[in-house]
Amino acid sequence: IARAHRYHALDARLARAFEFLQQTDLAALEEGRYELDGANLYALVQHYTTKRPDQGRWEAHQRYADLQCVVTGTERMGYGPLDRFTGLGYDAEKDVEFLTGSGDYLQLKAGEFVVLWPGEVHMPQMAVDAPGPVKKIVVKIAVD
């Protein structure tokens, strides 16, 4: 997150999302939703136990980008291009489509983040070796 300034020029809302992450005591935030700019920009603070691979679901969004930042713990995140997947139906109200297919994986540790643009398929909340606790903030960024 210390190198987040590299992303500010990409989008004003993305820059505001990084400012929130850098200027807020993330460890002190309680679980829940934090409005930064109404439906255009908001943060979801989550606490959960990571899942085994067979419990994961591939997902993608159309209206929002995700800035996902791990605060504590470590998780494995699946990622893949849309053309490797088959959609199972888009839920416009929740801005999510679950998909089937296969992707690659990366590991996110405390203080690390990933930006996922609409149409980028991902599988969050996966265990690295064994399920464990994670605190993560997902900033939802409306993409016009």
State pLDDT tens for residues 13-57.
999 999 999 999 999 999 999 999 999 999 999 999 999 989 999
Q: 64-72 and 58-60 as β-strands: parallel, antiparallel, unpaired?
A: unpaired
pLDDT band at 11 (very low <50, low <70, confident <90, very high): confident
- Span 86-110, average pLDDT: 96
In this predicted model, what pLDDT tens digit does every residue of 106-119 receive, in sequence order? Answer: 999 999 999 999 99
In the prediction, which pLDDT does 12 show?
Answer: 87
pTM, to two decimals: 0.92
3-state SS assignment for residue 94: coil
Q: Is residue 2 over pLDDT 70?
A: no
Please report, rounded to a whole number, the percentage of residues in the chain having pLDDT higher than 90. 90
Compute the mean pLDDT over every residue in the chain, rounded to the nearest whole number. Answer: 94
| DSSP H or E segment with residue 98 | strand 96-101
Which residues on neighbouring strands pair with residue 37, listed in sequence order?
Answer: 39
Q: What pLDDT score was predicted for residue 52?
A: 94
CA distance 39 to 62: 14
Name the percent of the chain in helix, strand, coil, to the closest 5: 20, 50, 30
- pLDDT grade, residue 104 (50/70/90)? very high
The answer to whether 67 and 83 are in contact (CB under 8 A) is no
| Partners of 104 in beta bridges | 79
The contacts of residue 92 (CB under 8 Å, 6+ apart) are 62
Please name the residues in contact with 110: beta carbons below 8 A apart, sequence gap of 6 or more: 70, 71, 72, 73, 74
